Chain A
Amino acid sequence: MDIIQILLNGIVLGALYACIAIGFSLVWGVLNIINMLHGSFIILGGYLTFFAWHYTGINPVLVLPIVALLLFALGYVLQFLFINKVVTAPVLTTLTLTFGLDMILYNLMTVYFTATPRRVTLDLGSISLGDVFLPVDRLLGMGLALILTALLYLVMRGSRIGRAIVAVRMDRQAAELMGIRVNRVYAITFGIGALMAGAAGAIFAMVFPVTTNLTGVFLGKAFVICVIGGLGSVPGALVGGLALGIIESVAGYTIGPQNAITVGFLLMLFLLIVRPTGLVGVKGYE
Chain B
Amino acid sequence: MMPRTVAICILSVAVYAALLALVPVIGGNYETRIAISVAMFSALALSWNFIGGFTGYPSFSTAAFFGLGSYIGALAQRGGLPAEVAWVVATIGVAGFATILGAIILRLKGHYFAIGSIAIVEVTRLIVSSWGSVTGGGDGLNVPLMQGAPDVVAARVLFIMLFIMLAAFFTSVAVDRSRLGFGLRCINQNEDAADMVGVDTTRYKVASFTLSALFCGLVGAVYASWVGYIDPTDSFSILLTVKVPVMALLGGAGTLAGPIVGAGVFVMLEEFFWANFLQWNRAILGIIIVFLIFFLPGGLLKIQYGRVIQRLSVRFDQWRYREEVN
Contact with B along A133-166 (1 / 0, CB 8 A): 0000000000000000000000000000000000
Contacting B107 at CB < 8 Å: which of A102, A224, A273?
A273
For B, the interface residue count at a CB cutoff of 8 angstroms equals 45
Query: Would you list which residues of chain A between 61 and 106 have a CB under 8 Å from chain B?
Result: 82, 85-86, 90-93, 95-97, 99-104, 106
Contact between A223 and B52 (Cβ–Cβ < 8 Å)? no
For residue A28, which residues in chain B have a CB less than 8 angstroms away from its CB?
A: 111
For residue B122, which residues in chain A have a CB less than 8 angstroms away from its CB?
A: 220, 265
For residue B238, which residues in chain A have a CB less than 8 angstroms away from its CB?
A: 216
Report if A104-B293 is in contact (Cβ < 8 Å); known contacts: A265-B119, A265-B123, A272-B115. Answer: no
For residue A82, which residues in chain B have a CB less than 8 angstroms away from its CB?
A: 290, 294
Report if A269-B119 is in contact (Cβ < 8 Å); known contacts: A91-B58, A96-B246, A111-B279. Answer: yes
Query: Would you list which residues of chain B between 97 and 146 have a CB under 8 Å from chain A?
Result: 104-105, 107-112, 114-116, 118-120, 122-123, 126-127, 129-130
A82 to B291, CA, bound (A): 10
For residue B280, which residues in chain A have a CB less than 8 angstroms away from its CB?
A: 107, 111
Contact with A along B46-80 (1 / 0, CB 8 A): 00000010001010100000000000000000000
A216 to B283, CA, bound (A): 16
Contact between B58 and A97 (Cβ–Cβ < 8 Å)? no
B82 lies within 8 A of chain A by Cβ: no
Shortest Cβ distance from residue A279 to the other chain B in the assembled complex, whole angstroms: 15
Contact between B245 and A92 (Cβ–Cβ < 8 Å)? yes
Contact between B111 and A223 (Cβ–Cβ < 8 Å)? no
Shortest Cβ distance from residue A276 to the other chain B in the assembled complex, whole angstroms: 5
Report if A269-B116 is in contact (Cβ < 8 Å); known contacts: A96-B249, A99-B242, A100-B287. Answer: yes
For residue A223, which residues in chain B have a CB less than 8 angstroms away from its CB?
A: 115, 118-119
Contact between B289 and A103 (Cβ–Cβ < 8 Å)? yes
Contact between B246 and A258 (Cβ–Cβ < 8 Å)? no
> Interface residues of B: mostly helix, strand, loop or mixed?
helix
A259 lies within 8 A of chain B by Cβ: yes
Taking CB as reference atom, which chain B residue is nearest A255? B130
Report if A108-B245 is in contact (Cβ < 8 Å); known contacts: A85-B294, A258-B129. Answer: no
> Interface residues of A: mostly helix, strand, loop or mixed?
helix
Report if A32-B111 is in contact (Cβ < 8 Å); known contacts: A106-B282, A107-B282, A269-B119. Answer: yes
Contact with A along B280-303 (1 / 0, CB 8 A): 111101111110111001000000
Among A85, A102, A262, chain B packs the most CB atoms within 10 A around the CB of A262
Contact between B293 and A93 (Cβ–Cβ < 8 Å)? yes
> Can you offer 22 A-B residue contacts whose CB atoms are under 8 A?
A96-B242, A96-B245, A100-B286, A104-B282, A104-B286, A104-B287, A107-B280, A111-B279, A111-B280, A227-B112, A258-B126, A258-B130, A262-B123, A265-B126, A268-B119, A272-B116, A272-B119, A273-B105, A273-B108, A276-B112, A286-B109, A286-B112
Contacts A93-B293, A103-B282, A103-B289 known; 11 new A-B pairs at CB < 8 A: A28-B111, A82-B294, A91-B110, A91-B111, A92-B253, A95-B58, A99-B242, A107-B286, A111-B280, A269-B123, A286-B112
A110 to B52, CA, bound (A): 32
Closest 3 pairs between A and B when the two form their complex, measured CB to CB: A100-B289, A103-B286, A107-B283
For residue B111, which residues in chain A have a CB less than 8 angstroms away from its CB?
A: 28, 32, 34, 91, 286
Taking CB as reference atom, which chain A residue is nearest B246? A96
Taking CB as reference atom, which chain A residue is nearest B243? A99
A261 lies within 8 A of chain B by Cβ: yes
A107 to B288, CA, bound (A): 14
For residue A106, which residues in chain B have a CB less than 8 angstroms away from its CB?
A: 282-283, 286
Contact between B290 and A101 (Cβ–Cβ < 8 Å)? yes
Report if A95-B114 is in contact (Cβ < 8 Å); known contacts: A262-B123, A265-B119, A265-B126. Answer: yes
Taking CB as reference atom, which chain B residue is nearest A262? B126
Contact between A97 and B293 (Cβ–Cβ < 8 Å)? yes
For residue A91, which residues in chain B have a CB less than 8 angstroms away from its CB?
A: 58, 110-111, 114
Among A32, A92, A223, A265, chain B packs the most CB atoms within 10 A around the CB of A92
A261 to B256, CA, bound (A): 39
Query: Would you list which residues of chain B between 169 and 224 have a CB under 8 Å from chain A?
Result: none
A216 to B105, CA, bound (A): 22
For residue B286, which residues in chain A have a CB less than 8 angstroms away from its CB?
A: 99-104, 106-107
